[in-house]
Every structure is written in structure tokens, then in C-alpha cells.
Structure 1
Amino acid sequence: MEIDNLTPAELRVWRAFPRGESVNFRTGDDEDPADGTDWGPERTVRAAVLRSLLLNGPQEDGEIPALKLSGARISGVLDLRYGTTDHAVRLSHCLFEGVPLLYGARLRQLNLSWSVLPGLTAATMRVEGVLRMTDCRLRGPVRLGGAQLSGALFLDRAHLTSADTSEPMLQLNQVTVGDDLWAPGLRVDGEMRLNGATVTGSVNLNGTRLNRPGHHALDGETLTVEGDLLMRDAQVRGWIGLRGARVAGRLDLSYASLSNPGDAALRASSCTIGELWLRKSPHIDGALNLRRAQIDVLFLEPDVVPAEVLLSSLVYTTLTPHEPAERRLPMLERDGDGYVPHAYEQLTAAYLRVGDDHAARLVRLAKQRRHRTTLPWYGRLWGHVQDATVGYGFRPLRACVWLLSLLAIGSVAYALHHPRPLKPSEAPDFNPVFYTLDLLLPVISFGQEGAFAPEGGYQTLSYALVIAGWILATTVFTGVTRTVSRQ
């Protein structure tokens, strides 16, 4: 481009470039670049001029060229597709009339902070340093799919919105970030796509506002984060999809508000997570899907748990905070997959690790009662008998109470009416207590039952005691076996 064709504003930028000097057209710190449509030629720079500078700009010996421009209206389309530039680029507080085309470009560093853009097309772009879009306002999709950033990506307080929702607003799928993805306060009216992305550092989405009701608000399928994924105080309208994601550190949803009525609010199935924090948050409005997830520390407060959960094959090492079993069990009863034995075993194991044997027994008792609802009528009937007698073996003292009660009833009954001896000459002296024990205990014999024969109603009583004895003995044996297995 010939220097004679430049406007005074462009000439100023052209002359500052070789020395890396800044050019600032702003008239005040409170100036809004969204009003840039009213800026005249004195603040307008053609995109073609910037392209010429970046690809083949003048240089001076001993100086480091850089494009540093603030407060300008950039007319036309900045087209750097497949281009390579070794110069730092800072276009802050600017108004872009066209969508910058950076597809496949290679840049040293790019800073678009506080600018207003109609969108950004930069898929497969490579940046050796950082990409900074702090406080940017974008009125169309940001396409960064497959981009490779050696440094960090800054999107803090950026706002993305568009009337066209046919494609994701923020496309970071398959992106590789060599440092942090720093985006606290980000606002996206549409889908934020992170599936297949790799972040060497942490992802900071604290205070974000993601709005796409009934659809994907955050798609992070197979996302890999070597640090933490922070979403404290986030507000998400739509669902978060993290199927197959791996977060080495903490997935922190403390104080977050998740809402997707009628469907899942958080889908983290098949995830591998160091720590999952769901605490100090409002009740999740939607289902919580943790199927097949593997979590080292699950920080889950009962008040956060939604009306429906999906916990099939969920594995966690530690469950915190420590809550009574009565507070945890309703979560298992809300499982949309129905009766999931593994979920009860996981909760039991969590209580046993902290030495709360009482809570572990309550969970296993609840498991047996839930299992009973899946049986045919005769299985349910037998289950009710075991529950009422000895609590499926987890409350063995009940058997003692039943045995003593039946022993007292039988002893009194047979003391008042001695049964007839079968062989009077050979029969031992009748003892109502040991006779009743003979009826109740099927294994032990005191020689009383076989020597006497009750009649009428007392014979019916003897049959009832024998049956009750067998039931109690079976349930006690079951309880003892389960206790030995736990030991």
C-alpha cells in the first residue's frame, strides 16, 4: 500500500508501527466504542491498512514493530486468513465494522480488549502468546474451533449476544490453551462450546451468565482441564454437558444457580473429576446426571440435590460434608433409574470409611427395603416379615424381644394346661419353659417336645411357635452372616 493513499489518521498509525508506539484516538476514559458509528475520518482506519502493516509493514533498525491502536473505527474487513505476523497486535476500545477473518492465521499476540465486534472468525488460528478479549462485546459468533494458544485466553466480562441462534455463540471446541482460560463475569446468550478442548491450566468461569433455556448452555463433552474448572456464583439457564470430561482438580459449582426444568441441569456422566463441589447453592432446578462418573471427593450438600438424580455406577472415594444417613437416603430414592444397588453400596462405603457404622447399617437397611419393592408379592411378604422381626438382620435385638415374648406366652399357656404325655411311664417331668424353648428353637432339643402332645387350641399354638421359631432362626442367621461379612 502506498503511503500517499493514507488518511491523516492512517498515516499516524503507519508511522507509529515501526517503533511499536501506541496510537490513541480516545477522547475520554468513559467513552463507549459502541458509539463508534458516529466517529468521522479523523478516527477511522481501514482494515486493509492494518493488514498491510501486519503482513509487510515498515521496520526500523533497533526497533520492535507492533500495532497498538485504541479508540478507532476499523472499516472494512480485517482479513488475515492463513497469514503470518511476528508483531504484537493490540486493537483495544475499537469498533469493528466487519467480522475479522483470522482463520488459519499465525500471530505473536492478539489483544482486542474493550472493543465492539460483529463477531470473530479465527478457527485453527495459532497464537504464540495470549489472546485477550477482556470486556469485549460481540454481536455474532466467536469461532475459535481448533485454535492453538501457547498462552492464556482472557474472556473476562466479555458479552456475546446475537439475534441468530443457529450456531453456538462461543466456539472453543478442540481448542488448545497452554495456560488458563480466564473468563470470570462472561455473559453468553447462546451456547458456549468447549467439547474436546484442552486447557493446561485452569478454567475460571466464576460469575458467568450462560443463557440458553432448554438447550445446551455449556457443551464441554470430553473437555480436559489439568487444573480447576471454577463456576462459583454462575447462573446457567440451560444444561451443562460434561460427558466424558476430565478435570484433574476441582469442579466448583458453589453458589451456582443451575436451571433446566424438565431435563438434566448438569450432565457429568462418565467424567473423571478430582473434586466436585455442589454447595451453598440453590436447589438445582433439573436433573443431576452423574452416571459412571469417577470422583475422588464429592462435596454434595443434601439441600442442593434436585428432585431427580441419576447415579448408576457412580464411584466416589469421599463424601462430604458428613451428614446423617436420614439426610442422604432421600437422594437415592430419587434416582430416575429406579433401584440402583450400587448407589447404596457407595454410600455405605463412604460411611464406613469415616467409622460411622450406625449410618452404614441404616443405608443397608434402606437398600433392603428398596429392593423389596422390586420383588413379587410373596417376596415382598417375606421381606416385611424379616423387616418387622429383625430389620433384615441389622437390628438383631428385635429377635430377642420376639423370642422372649413368645417364650412368655408359651410358658404361661402350657403352665396353665399341661399337654398330655405320649408315654406316661417314660415321659420326663413337664417343664412349660423348656417345652416352649423346644418349640421355638429348631436346632436345640430339651426332650420336652417329643414327649408331650398338646390338644385343641394348644396344638395350634405349638404349630405357631414352631413356625415363628423357624422364621426367627432364619432371620437371625441371615443377620449374623451379614454381620460377619461386614467384619
Structure 2
Amino acid sequence: MSDLDTTTAERALRTAVEAYGLVWHDARGAAIPGAALRDVLLRATEKPRKLVVHGAKVTGEFCLEAGAVAFPVKFEDCEFDEAPNLEQTRFPGLYLVRCRLPGLHGTQLGAETNLVLRDCEVAGTVELTGAAIKGQLWLTGSRLRALGGAALKADGIVVGQDLLFDRGFRAEGRVRMVGARLGGQLICTEAAFRDPGGVALELDGAIVTEDTFWSSGFLAEGVVSVCCAKLEGKLDCSGGTFRNPGRVALSAEGLRVQGDVLFAGGAVEGGANLTGCAVGGRLDLTGGRFSDPGRTALDLARAHVAQNLVCRSGFVAQGLVLLAGAEIGGGLWCEGGHFDNGTDTALDATGVIVHRDVRLGRIPESDSGFHAQGGVVLSGATVAGDFDCTGGDFANPDRVSLVAKGMSVKRDVTMRTGFVAGGSVDLTGTKVDGSLDCGGGVFGNSGRAFCGDHVEVGQSAVFDRARAAGQIRLCGARIANRLTFARTTISGDEKALLLNGAVVGGQLRLVFPTKPAGGIHLCQVRAAYLDDRESRWPDRVKLYEFVYGALPNDGVDVKSRLQWLGRHHKYAPQVYTQLARTYELSGMHDSAKRVLMAAEDARRASRQGVSRRLVIAFDWLLKYTVGYGYRPLWVLYWFFGLLVLGWRLFSHIGESGFHHAKTGESATHQPFLYTLDLLLPVVSLRQRDLWVVEGAALWWSTAFTVLGWVLAICLVTGLGKAFKREL
């Protein structure tokens, strides 16, 4: 372009400005030296209401540093050879629309109204560090390219109203706004921030007075960092994408959001670190996708959420979701959410405090249920409402599916029909003020399927119709009301059910549809009432110091219960005395005696040593003569039986076997009295003194005498045992 053309363009511009009013100058592609443009803006004698420069090519240095422009300036479709130097420059308003620049130096730039870079192409850094803009800052539709460097530097910038990165905004390089202060909204819809492997958007320590939108087409390739920032409105990430695979994509440690945080349809490819953040409203991640396989996909450790934390249908996390030490003022609702971390921990909420319900199940009237591929940890958690896993799928085969050791729940814990755990469930030391309901749940671990050792339940614990592929443990548990296993299927091979040391304040019901393959251990269990109707006991049962206050009076006979005691392989007196005592308290004295006699049988069978056979023989006599002292009148049956037998026997022998002891006596032989005299070892009826017996009569007399002594000894021994028990 010739010097004449340049001079003509300058003159036209000066003439337009001096005309005052609203000035719209179309340079039509003509070049305007930067120095001349500076003179027009800083030294014009007339001050137009606004200057619009269209289609100009600004050549050379354009420097307004530390200057003050008295009127708003707008550049449309202009091109700058060099980056304008606007450092410490004051404008009523500055607008660059569809301009092309190699950069922009605007450190501590001041604008009384707006600063606009709309649909601009910037092939370098836009420097706005410390700028003060009382109106809005627009970068709508602009494209900033500074590969390997910063596309925008705006640390400490102050914007009185909104900051807009929207409608196709693109940044190739870091956008840095550390400590920025925004009096309005931060809008980043339909915007892309790209600095792969670096920091795409940095807002550490920033303050946004109103809402922040990283939604509806927002894309960040690289880290988005908002550490210790304060957002006084809501944070909306719905439809936004944060991409930094294998690294942290969203870094928000210490972030403070006074409103809601929304993530419907949002996606994070890489880690999302919100450690120690605070959300004044709800944190709704429903529909969000967080992907960092094998690493921490979402870190909310020590976070504080004033209302609900929601991860419902559509929420997907590939990698660990960490909630350790977090506090949630509302509920933790994860119905329909998917947590996938392979065989490692998928959800770690150790020590979390939830002021309402925790829901890890199915949304009512929906097929969408909670799913975890990997472990779920809530050890030490505090839940002020219900802990509901009904309909949840905890798939971590042969490992721990759900562990909540030491958890405290103020209301109910439910794992009812639809709950499936592929691995073990561990509630050791959990305290439940309401009920523990596992009715219909499926516990699929073939080893330890369910562990509730030392659990405390304020109401009932129910396992009715539950299915366990392995062992169920409730050792040392404290159940205030009922503990029921009605129609419960337990497939453990060795120890199917362990209740050792448990205390049940109400009914203990054990009804199995099929005989468990493994043993049942009830050692040191205390139960107010044992309901054993319809029970199918396994071959191995341990009942040491099992104490129960009552039994049903119908449905189970004494014989069946004695068979049950017999499954306790080693002799233990207490298991028999407990059953007998229960019968006694129910007024069933005959049944109690049968149990005590069975105890003596078991004791006799357990004897060891050299004298075992002799003692067993004597016990055998005691059993069938006086029922070990519990049936002393049985001896009368033997006595009268022998009396009748002897009477008939000696009557049959007749006087041929009897001779008078003294010659000349004429006493008549009386077989009845003679037999009676033989059977009474202490009392003498003088019948034996009258006769001398010989032959068969002698042998039979000796036998009846011995039997009389045996009956007497058995009677005395039995009565002695009876008196000893009474004492």
C-alpha cells in the first residue's frame, strides 16, 4: 500500500473522530499505522461518544501503555501486525470483534464498562493480569492459540459482572486466572480449553459471585484447576467434558461452592480431585461419568456437602470413588449408580457422616439399581437415617463386596430381596438402632458370606428367605428383639451358621428348608425364646452353654429335640440340663425327666478308661430299674414282676424241692410269701428259716435273693441321686 493511501486512511479517521457523535469508520482494508491510531485515541481534540473502526489493518507498534482513552472504542474485522500494548490503559469500554491479533498486552488494563474479544483470532498470549473491568469480559467465539505457552494470563483480574467463554470459544494453551474476582457469572458453555498434559484452565483462589457454567459443550483437555476457589452461586457441569487421561482432569481441592454442583451428562476422563471441598447445596452427579481405571476417578475425601450427594441412574465411575471422612448434610443416594474398579475398591466411604439416608439399592418402581464391580467400604461411617441396599448388586466374587465395620446407623439396615453380593459382606461391630433386615438377600461368597460379629441391633435381625453360598457369622451379636432364619438357605460346607456368644432378647427362630451342609454353632448363645419348629438340623451342631428361656409347646416332640442334642457330638451336661430346665419351667415335668435320662445315657456312652465296661453295666441297671433315679417307681414294676414270677415258679416246683428245717414241723409251703421274703433283703418274713431247699429250688432261691439285693441297691442309689439333685 502506498504512503498516499496510508495518509488518506489516517485523514479519514481523524476527520471521522472530529465529527463527534457515534463514529463508525470503515477503513476498507486500508492500513493505519499504530502510532497514528495512538494519536487519534489519546490526543483527539474532539471526543466522540463512541468510535468504531471497521476493516483496518493496524501496522507497526500500537501502544497505549499507561494512557487514558476518553471514549469507548470498537474494532471490527481489523488485523494487527503486532500485539497491541494496552498495559495500564484506561478505557470507558473496549470491543474487539472478529479481529486478528498476534497477542494482546493488557496487564492492569482498566475498563469502566466492558472488555470484549468476540470471534477474534489471537495467535499468541492475551495478557490481562491485574486488569480491572467494571462491566463484563467477553471472549465469546474467540480463538486463542499459544501452543506451549499461556493463551490467557489473567491472574488477579477483577471483573465487575460476567465473564463469558462461550459460543465456540477455543483456547490452545493454558488459560490462567489465579485469584480472579468475578462479580457476575462465569460462563463456559460451548467452549474448549486445550492444553493436553498441562493445565487447560486455572482458577485457583478465584471468587465468582454468581453461577459458574462448565456445561453444554464445555471441553477441557488438560487439567481444570479451581483449588481453594470460592463460587458463591452454583457450579453447573452438565454436559461438560474434562479430559486428561491417566492424570488429574479436575483439581478442586478446597473448592467452596455456596450453591448446588450439577453434573448431569458431564464426563471426566481422568481423575476428579475435590478433596476437602465444601458444597452449600446439593452435589448431584446423576448422569455423570468419571473414568480413571485403576486410579482414583472421583476424590471427595473430607468433603462437606450441606444437602444431598446424589449419584443416581446414569452415574458411572470407572476407578475408585473416595468419600473417606466426608460429611453429607442430607442423604447419600446412589440408586442406579455404577461403580467399577475391577477387583479393587470401587467406593471407599470410610468414616463418612451422612445426616439422612444412605441408599445403595434400586430406585422404587424402576429396574435401575446400584451396581458395584469392586469393594464398597463404609467402615466407621455414621448414618442418621436408613442404610438401604435393597436391589443393589455388589459384584466382587471371592473378595469383599461390602465392608462396614464399626458403622453406626440410627434407623434400619436393609438388604432385602434384590440385594446380591458376589463376595462377602462384613458388618463387624456395626451398631443399628433400628432393625437389620436381610430377608430375601443373596450372599454369594462361598467362604464367609456374611459377617456380623459383635453387631448391635436395637430391634430385630431378619434373614428370612435369604440365600448364602457360604458362612453366616453373628458371633457376639446383641439383638434386642428377634433373630430369625425362616426358610434360610445356607450352603457352607463346614461352618454354616456361627452365633457363638450372641444375645437375642426375643425369639431365635431357626427354620431351614433344606438341611445345611455345614455345622451350626450356638455356643454361649443367650435367647429369650427358641423357635425350632420345622427345623432341619445339620449333622453337626455345637451347643456349649446355649441358654434359652422358652420353647414352643407344639410342633416338636421330646424325641426330636433329643436327636437335636445328640448332634452335639461331645457329651456336655449343660445342653441337656438347659432343655430339661426349659421343660420344667413350662410344667412339662415328664419331658424334663426324659431329657435328663438321655443325658445320663450320653454320659455313659462318653465314659473312657479300664473300668468303662463295669460302670456302663451298673449305669445300665440304674437306667432300667429306677431311670437313673428319675423314675424310682420303676423298681416296683421289676419287684412285682419278680414276685409273680417266683410265686408261679416255686408253685410249679412244689414241695419236692423244699424240706422242713426242723424235723416234726408241719408248716405249709407258701410260694408267694417265700418269694417275697427272698426279694426283701432287709425285712425278714421267716419263710427262708422254715425250709431247706435243694436242686432247682436252691438255684432259683439264690437268684431271687441276688435280684432283691440288686433292686434294693439300685433303688437306694437312684434315691440318693434324686436327693442330691434336690439339694
Fold shared by both chains (TM-score > 0.5): yes
Give the drift of 1:422.
4.0
Once the two structures are superposed, residues 254-290 of structure 1 have per-residue CA deviations (whole angstroms, 9 ceiling, x without a partner) of 11111112x1100101111122111263222211110
Check conservation: 1:192, 1:219, Cα contact below 8 A: yes
Give the drift of 1:480.
5.0
Distance 2:237 2:587 in 1: 67
Check conservation: 2:189, 2:217, Cα contact below 8 A: no
The answer for the alignment partner of 2:284 in structure 1 is 68
Distance 1:364 1:354 in 2: 16
Distance 1:236 1:143 in 2: 21
Equivalent residue runs for 1:5-16 within 5 Å: 10-11=214-215
The alpha-carbon distance between structure 1 residues 100 and 69, as it changes in their structure 2 partners (threshold 3 A), is closer
Distance 1:204 1:95 in 2: 28
The alpha-carbon distance between structure 1 residues 475 and 108, as it changes in their structure 2 partners (threshold 3 A), is same
State whether structure 2 residue 298 is matched by structure 1 residue 78.
Answer: yes
The alpha-carbon distance between structure 1 residues 13 and 440, as it changes in their structure 2 partners (threshold 3 A), is farther
Give the drift of 1:226.
1.2
Question: Which of 549, 566, 572 pairs up with 1:333?
Answer: 566
Question: Which of 128, 133, 146 pairs up with 2:360?
Answer: 133
Distance 1:239 1:292 in 2: 19
The answer for the alignment partner of 1:36 in structure 2 is none
Distance 1:68 1:150 in 2: 20
State whether structure 2 residue 304 is matched by structure 1 residue 116.
Answer: no
Check conservation: 1:21, 1:68, Cα contact below 8 A: no
Give the drift of 1:326.
1.6
The answer for the alignment partner of 1:31 in structure 2 is none
State whether structure 2 residue 603 is matched by structure 1 residue 371.
Answer: yes
After alignment, is 357-366 or 473-482 more displaced? Answer: 473-482
SS in 1 for 2:481: strand
The answer for the alignment partner of 2:681 in structure 1 is 442
Check conservation: 2:384, 2:410, Cα contact below 8 A: yes
Distance 2:237 2:530 in 1: 52
The answer for the alignment partner of 2:484 in structure 1 is 252
Distance 1:469 1:357 in 2: 30
Check conservation: 2:524, 2:544, Cα contact below 8 A: yes
Give the drift of 1:466.
1.3
Number of residues paired by the alignment?
459
Give the drift of 1:206.
1.1
Question: Which of 203, 206, 218 pairs up with 2:439?
Answer: 206
Check conservation: 1:141, 1:162, Cα contact below 8 A: yes
Distance 2:349 2:355 in 1: 14
List runs of 5+ in structure 2 lacking aligned partners: 1-175, 178-185, 192-212, 219-230, 240-262, 341-345, 362-368
Equivalent residue runs for 1:54-453 within 5 Å: 55-56=277-278, 65-75=281-291, 77-93=297-313, 94-109=315-330, 110-118=332-340, 119-134=346-361, 135-162=369-396, 165=398, 167-185=399-417, 186-213=419-446, 215-261=447-493, 263-274=494-505, 275-279=507-511, 281-301=513-533, 303-320=535-552, 322=554, 323-336=556-569, 338-375=570-607, 376-395=612-631, 398-415=634-651, 416-417=654-655, 419-424=658-663, 431-453=670-692
Give the drift of 1:430.
5.0
TM-score (norm 1): 0.84
Give the drift of 1:462.
1.9
The answer for the alignment partner of 1:28 in structure 2 is none
Greater strand percent: which structure?
2
Check conservation: 2:266, 2:287, Cα contact below 8 A: no
SS in 1 for 2:561: helix
The alpha-carbon distance between structure 1 residues 103 and 172, as it changes in their structure 2 partners (threshold 3 A), is same
Check conservation: 2:271, 2:290, Cα contact below 8 A: no
Give the counterpart letter for 1:74 in structure 2: F
Check conservation: 2:375, 2:401, Cα contact below 8 A: yes
Distance 2:190 2:277 in 1: 20
SS in 1 for 2:595: helix
Check conservation: 1:252, 1:277, Cα contact below 8 A: yes
Once the two structures are superposed, residues 401-445 of structure 1 have per-residue CA deviations (whole angstroms, 9 ceiling, x without a partner) of 432332234334545136344445799765432222121011222
Check conservation: 1:23, 1:69, Cα contact below 8 A: no
Once the two structures are superposed, residues 143-201 of structure 1 have per-residue CA deviations (whole angstroms, 9 ceiling, x without a partner) of 111112222211111111136x4x52201111111211122132111110011111111
List runs of 5+ in structure 1 lacking aligned partners: 26-40, 60-64
SS in 2 for 1:318: coil
The answer for the alignment partner of 1:43 in structure 2 is 265
Give the drift of 1:22.
11
Give the drift of 1:142.
0.4
The answer for the alignment partner of 2:202 in structure 1 is none
Distance 1:201 1:42 in 2: 34
The alpha-carbon distance between structure 1 residues 332 and 52, as it changes in their structure 2 partners (threshold 3 A), is closer
Check conservation: 2:264, 2:284, Cα contact below 8 A: no
Once the two structures are superposed, residues 98-118 of structure 1 have per-residue CA deviations (whole angstroms, 9 ceiling, x without a partner) of 321111112213211111012
Give the drift of 1:235.
0.3
Give the counterpart letter for 2:593 in structure 1: R
The alpha-carbon distance between structure 1 residues 374 and 182, as it changes in their structure 2 partners (threshold 3 A), is closer
Check conservation: 2:187, 2:214, Cα contact below 8 A: no
Give the drift of 1:97.
2.7
The alpha-carbon distance between structure 1 residues 131 and 414, as it changes in their structure 2 partners (threshold 3 A), is closer
Equivalent residue runs for 1:11-30 within 5 Å: 11=215
Give the counterpart letter for 2:456 in structure 1: T
TM-score (norm 2): 0.58
SS in 2 for 1:304: coil
Higher relative contact order (CA 8 A, sep 6+): 1
Give the drift of 1:232.
1.1
The alpha-carbon distance between structure 1 residues 180 and 462, as it changes in their structure 2 partners (threshold 3 A), is same
What is the root-mean-square deviation in Å for CA atoms of aligned residues?
A: 3.3
SS in 1 for 2:549: strand
Give the drift of 1:96.
1.6
The alpha-carbon distance between structure 1 residues 477 and 346, as it changes in their structure 2 partners (threshold 3 A), is same
**Whose radius of gyration is greater, 1 or 2?**
2
Distance 2:606 2:308 in 1: 67
Percent of residue pairs identical? 25
